[in-house]
Amino acid sequence: LSLRMSMSEKSTATVNQSDQVIGFIGLGKIGYALARNIITKSSTNDKTTTQTAIHYDINEEISTQFAKEIPQSKAASSPEEVASSCDVLFTALPNDAILLSAVFGPSKKEEESGGIHNALRPSSIHVSCSTVSPTTSRIIASAHAKRSIGFVAAPIFARPDGLALGHATIPLSSSHPPLLAQIQPLLQRTATKVQPFEEKDAGAANVVKLAGNFLIASAIESMSEAFALVEQQGLNREAVHTLFSETIFDCLIYKGYGQRVATRDHAP
């Protein structure tokens, strides 16, 4: 397969996207939609589709279901099998601890590492789509670089239903920026906007994701306070939401989350 990479700043990898094997670890609500879109769709700037893929989920039933739905992808028996078989590995795992455990094994430490870190081939690229701390991405990137493995952070802004439709926003970062141009076409298959950040910081995209999450949480809080105010004064909170979301707050966050807040479609 035509993927060769030196981690020196002057070198770039060459990826033939029609030949590469792509791996996926984590097929939860986000990971399932991500993997399905990357395997089966093409983007505006990428007219090929991935012919060969391999996947793993801790839930064997989900892994089997995915293989039936997407016959181009083989179900693996372990994360390490996926990592050792692919040129580009996407992980979509729920938090820092689970991601570090998958990468380094139960110890979560590089010096005692097992996990996919040791299974990945030199010249392969690991793309982490998890919402984790910037420090976690920097730790993984540093360890991978010692084995000539690339790392890209690509946390996803999207609800699962939106991601399934390809309506995601994805910031990208890497300590080796040439990797970003290689991964961007794959992620464009499942996103409306993929934004590389060229700061040579593996954790930069995670900073963007955390900042965005803060803005989303702040918007939800402000909407909750506003709708409580109008309701206390005898107004219909849903009618107020409709006014705002169709005029001065006509955007995704205020429409989607605002509707749920206005109708109390949430728990607790």
Characterize the bridge pairing of strands 193-196 and 150-153. unpaired
Query: In sequence order, which residues have a C-beta less than 8 Å from that of residue 253 and are 6 or more positions away?
Result: 215, 216, 219
Q: Please compute the mean of the pLDDT values over residues 234-247 and round it to a whole number.
A: 97
Is residue 1 predicted with pLDDT exceeding 50?
no
Check whether 230 has a pLDDT greater than 80: yes
Whether the predicted pLDDT of 220 surpasses 50: yes
Give the pLDDT band (50/70/90) at residue 16.
Answer: low
pLDDT category at 107 given cuts 50, 70, 90 is confident
Q: Cβ contacts of residue 166 below 8 Å, gap of 6+?
A: 37, 41, 189, 190, 191, 192
pLDDT score at 75? 98
pLDDT value of position 6: 40
The pair phi, psi for residue 73, each rounded to 5°, is -110, 135
Percent above pLDDT 90 for the chain: 82
pLDDT at 259: 94
Give the pLDDT band (50/70/90) at residue 267. confident
- Report pLDDT for 44: 56
Least confident interval from 3-12, 101-110, 256-265: 3-12
Give the integer Cα–Cα distance in Å for 30 and 27.
7
Asked whether residue 2 carries a pLDDT value surpassing 60, the answer given is no
Structure tokens at 168: 């995601």
CA 235 – CA 134 distance, rounded (Å): 43
Predicted TM-score (pTM) of the model is: 0.89
pLDDT tens, 190-208?
999 999 998 999 999 999 9
